[in-house]
Structure 1
């Protein structure tokens, strides 16, 4: 009897060791992928001042044109995210992730070689398609591999790659801009093609939960044995649910049939958050230049903004796992609104930098928490579509962010007025979050594999 118990314990220990290795690889690959997503987000903002002041780079660029160029990539993200929502729920998470890594890397390299406004805008749009596919799929992957009770934390760790990548872009721009120029900075964004993609090809498995949800139970069990990932407790019900007239509808059909109002509110909430993220990451350096700081100093604000987002999201995720993501997201939006208002108070530099860090928590950090909220809100066979909806529809706000910033920066508005407007956007996001209903349906939680 004791020997049997010992054998079971040894087998369970071996399975857990496999699981840890698999989760570490998956989360690490996902984190690095989003690191370059964040790099892509801010590298343009770091170069805007160069484009505005040096027409030999792309031609004449006005604040309005700069805002439009910043939005082209986000239109691509919208397209890529919406396409990935259907493809990810039907063909699997792994294939979409590999495609995204290769696509956006090639797009970044192509952007570095452009010499006109039109070509720059076109390649930014194409790059955005890969970024959108990546963002839309990563949250689903994290939700399906992360241990129970720590999904928000793991999501925050992985999605901290976005502000960390933004931080990296700002730091590299400060150190390398004068040496390698904006083209060199964009070429750095192509590195995943020769680094991340090969690793992901060999180390990124398909999702066991997704395979079970598609009715491929034998494949799911084989993969679970190889990777140590546990089969969903409700795997038979998960497969049977594919023929259910309500809960069985997959991807977009199930999304809008089962969660119509919540989906609309979550999409609008994401759009509000991304409007703040992209407006600040694109225009904060320029606004700080106008406030009297030099070029290096203005980029330092961008570093602090994204550093605050990383730390704040990790702290917020621990609270979200314990008390629920909804209230945490609403509180972070509100905190961001207050911090943006405080930017107008004329604080000394040290205090101002601390306030900017809190702004990072209330904008990019909040968006990280939103992806965790959304990924764990939906059941498995609509999860990728749900995240894609928020990443895609949300990019409408992202598209509007640089345009709004360009309008405000080029329209003669006082800095105080610009910050008042952005603070009102953050407050609106808090209200939207409060309006989102909760998922108390036990059956849906079972089917989600949570």
Structure 2
């Protein structure tokens, strides 16, 4: 290929990756919004039984877990079908589903209806979570995949920032129902954009044997397919697809450990986003300060997660994730001491990097750990199994408050979970098969002069 054509393909790839990242990130902003908005309005719901009924701390913790149970169902279901039915279709369905769910949740008038609708909304959120990482991993330019994953999954803590900020500004004037209505807006603006601007992954199409479609979209978007061709030639891509591939001998050990990494990260994420305002009220801070702590926690996650992703692209995500987990454990322990408020804010911001920010890196680590035939299922397994941790996070906080145990106990428990996350991260085996395939790929590129575009590969050599 001429340098001009290569440069044009590079520009097309960058534009496509930017659109995919923007759509996926915006969808996950509303996942993060849903995650945090419950913690934002929880004090209001507990203090006013006329809203949806009487809420004890234990019931409130259980309600906080219902959406996560739905996410677990949605993620695992979409993981089972995502590598068969494609990325684009599931993202579109997920956006519509969770938007409608948020709308009807805002209308609920009983604890039962609120919990049921939180569960149903979670199914749509799970579909997005299971698919967004697999999608951006197949559109992101080589060498920047951790960074693009961080952009996409930073949408979750960014949504937390949005929820905390809007909670501070709008909880009094529009109430908790109005805040939930805001979560339904993606069906109005994001779904139409995604319909026109989100392409199907050409790498997924190629893995399904749909060569003509893959080549047409690759030519239009600039996404190179040569890596997939080489992986097929060198035997790195197996015939198994979906969960069968995830739990094959190639990925099994790593998949289990990645699942526990996500379990730890999401327990910390959901536990803190649900209970941090209430815990800090126990330390004597009023409602406005308590919501500000959520704002600081999620802001730290966004900024720190983006910076850490740059380091992950340079030195690999494994070491960085283990380090941020340890940072979380240290800062959570320090938050039990009576430091001045500015110092406390710094600790909470660092804790945000080590909890929510770490989970952003885990999604990137997981997305790039698997080959195309296993990617959607692998991401779904990590986020789905991880949601068990997300379910336990709010429950642990509720149990501790119901037992009249102080916030220090919660912080120490969360810190221990962070140390466990660091340990399992260190134990994840490197994906040797993929690394060997890439080494072989370099040899093939040097000796056979394989072009950078799948459309330039001779028909007899195409997958």
TM-score, length of structure 2 as denominator length? 0.92
Deviation at 1:260, TM superposition (A): 1.6
8 Å Cα contact 2:231-2:437 kept in structure 1: no
Deviation at 1:223, TM superposition (A): 0.6
2:41 matches 1:50:
no
2:227 matches 1:252:
no
Partner of 2:28: 34
2:347 matches 1:384:
no
Other structure's SS at 1:229 match: coil
Q: How many residues are treated as equivalent by the alignment?
A: 440
2:174 matches 1:183:
no
Deviates more, 1:416-425 or 1:278-287: 416-425
8 Å Cα contact 1:163-1:309 kept in structure 2: yes
2:279 matches 1:287:
yes
Other structure's SS at 1:195 match: helix
Other structure's SS at 2:370 match: coil
Deviation at 1:420, TM superposition (A): 1.1
Q: Could you tell me which of 138, 144, 149 is aligned with 1:150?
A: 144
8 Å Cα contact 1:278-1:402 kept in structure 2: yes
8 Å Cα contact 1:25-1:203 kept in structure 2: yes
Deviation at 1:233, TM superposition (A): 3.2
8 Å Cα contact 1:27-1:142 kept in structure 2: yes
Q: Could you tell me which of 243, 259, 269 is aligned with 1:267?
A: 259
Q: Over aligned residue pairs, what C-alpha RMSD do you find?
A: 1.8
Q: Partners of 1:10 and 1:352 in 2: how far apart?
A: 54
2:279 matches 1:323:
no
Unaligned runs of 5+ in 2: 443-463
8 Å Cα contact 1:87-1:96 kept in structure 2: no
Equivalences for residues 89-104 of structure 1 within 5 A = 89-104=83-98
The 1:59/1:212 distance shift into structure 2, 3 A limit, reads same
Q: Partners of 1:233 and 1:272 in 2: how far apart?
A: 33
The 1:304/1:237 distance shift into structure 2, 3 A limit, reads closer
8 Å Cα contact 1:213-1:235 kept in structure 2: no
Runs of 4+ in structure 1 deviating by more than 6 angstroms, as ranges, are: none
Q: Partners of 2:93 and 2:321 in 1: how far apart?
A: 31
Other structure's SS at 1:337 match: helix
The 1:14/1:260 distance shift into structure 2, 3 A limit, reads closer
Deviation at 1:10, TM superposition (A): 3.1
TM-score, length of structure 1 as denominator length? 0.95
Q: Partners of 1:415 and 1:391 in 2: how far apart?
A: 27
2:315 matches 1:301:
no
Q: Partners of 1:176 and 1:17 in 2: how far apart?
A: 42
2:212 matches 1:218:
yes
The 1:240/1:438 distance shift into structure 2, 3 A limit, reads closer
Other structure's SS at 1:194 match: helix
8 Å Cα contact 1:105-1:189 kept in structure 2: yes
8 Å Cα contact 1:234-1:446 kept in structure 2: no
The 1:373/1:27 distance shift into structure 2, 3 A limit, reads same
8 Å Cα contact 1:214-1:239 kept in structure 2: no
Unaligned runs of 5+ in 1: none
Q: Could you tell me which of 164, 167, 172 is aligned with 1:173?
A: 167
Q: Partners of 1:301 and 1:402 in 2: how far apart?
A: 17
Other structure's SS at 2:223 match: coil
Q: Partners of 1:114 and 1:445 in 2: how far apart?
A: 53
Partner of 1:400: 392
8 Å Cα contact 1:254-1:382 kept in structure 2: yes
Q: Partners of 2:230 and 2:214 in 1: how far apart?
A: 11
8 Å Cα contact 1:288-1:298 kept in structure 2: yes
The 1:336/1:443 distance shift into structure 2, 3 A limit, reads closer
Deviation at 1:446, TM superposition (A): 4.7
Q: Partners of 2:435 and 2:408 in 1: how far apart?
A: 49
Note the alpha carbon deviations across 1:201-239, whole angstroms, 9 max, x for none.
010001111111111122111111111222233427539
Deviation at 1:14, TM superposition (A): 2.7
Deviation at 1:20, TM superposition (A): 2.2
8 Å Cα contact 1:215-1:240 kept in structure 2: no
